[in-house]
Amino acid sequence: MAFDHEALRAALAPENLPACAALMPFEVIAADAAEGSVRIEFAPQPAFGNHFGDIQGGFIVAMLDLPLTLAAFLKTGEFLPTVEIKTSFLAPARIGRCIAEGGVLRAGRTLVFTEAKLWSGDGTLAAHATATATRTGSLAMPTPHDS
């Protein structure tokens, strides 16, 4: 079951976001519930820098987890816990505005398979991730129609 953009807006309301979301200011710039895909723009975060002036790898994984999670939410209407994530670092991600895209590869009854990519502000593909989320223990969000 695909959920609409109102459900996504409600899920991203400040009162519904976990505390960690404040560390990564972002804006959803495109979303397709039927496909389970999302495009996000991250604001620059100088605090994420490593010794080389690039975004440290752990923060890249956290950034990729957001489009992975939102893509699954769009497709299923539930926030799902990630049980596995694999990230490949393809190029340095420069500190600056970054773009990420996430999508659902397959949504089954118990597992949802997703992938995401992160581009540096200069357009360089910096990282790619695949993840598996489980519907066991998911957190369903009420839709505007449930009120």
Cα torsion 142, 39, 90, 105 to 10°: value is 60
Q: Is 15 helix (H, G, I), strand (E, B) or coil?
A: helix
pLDDT per residue as tens digits for the range 118-138: 999 899 999 999 999 999 765
Where does 5-140 sit in CATH, by number?
3.10.129.10
What is the per-residue pLDDT for 66? 94
Helix (H) or strand (E) holding 7: helix 5-11
Residues 6+ apart with CB under 8 A from 76: 1, 3, 36, 107, 112, 135, 138
pLDDT per residue as tens digits for the range 101-117: 999 999 999 999 999 99
Q: Is 142 helix (H, G, I), strand (E, B) or coil?
A: coil
Across 5-9, 72-76, 125-129, least confident range: 5-9
Rounded-to-integer distance, Cα 6 and Cα 3, Å? 8
* Domain residue spans of the chain: 5-140
Residues 6+ apart with CB under 8 A from 62: 20, 23, 24
Q: What is the DSSP string of 60-74?
A: HHHHHHHHHHHHHHH
What is the per-residue pLDDT for 137? 62
- Res. 81 pLDDT band, cuts 50 70 90: very high
- Res. 141 pLDDT band, cuts 50 70 90: low
Rounded-to-integer distance, Cα 125 and Cα 143, Å? 34
Rounded-to-integer distance, Cα 15 and Cα 136, Å? 24
Residues 6+ apart with CB under 8 A from 53: 94, 95
The percent helix, strand, coil of the chain (3-state, each to 5) is 30, 40, 35
pLDDT per residue as tens digits for the range 12-54: 887 877 778 778 899 999 999 889 999 999 999 999 999 999 9
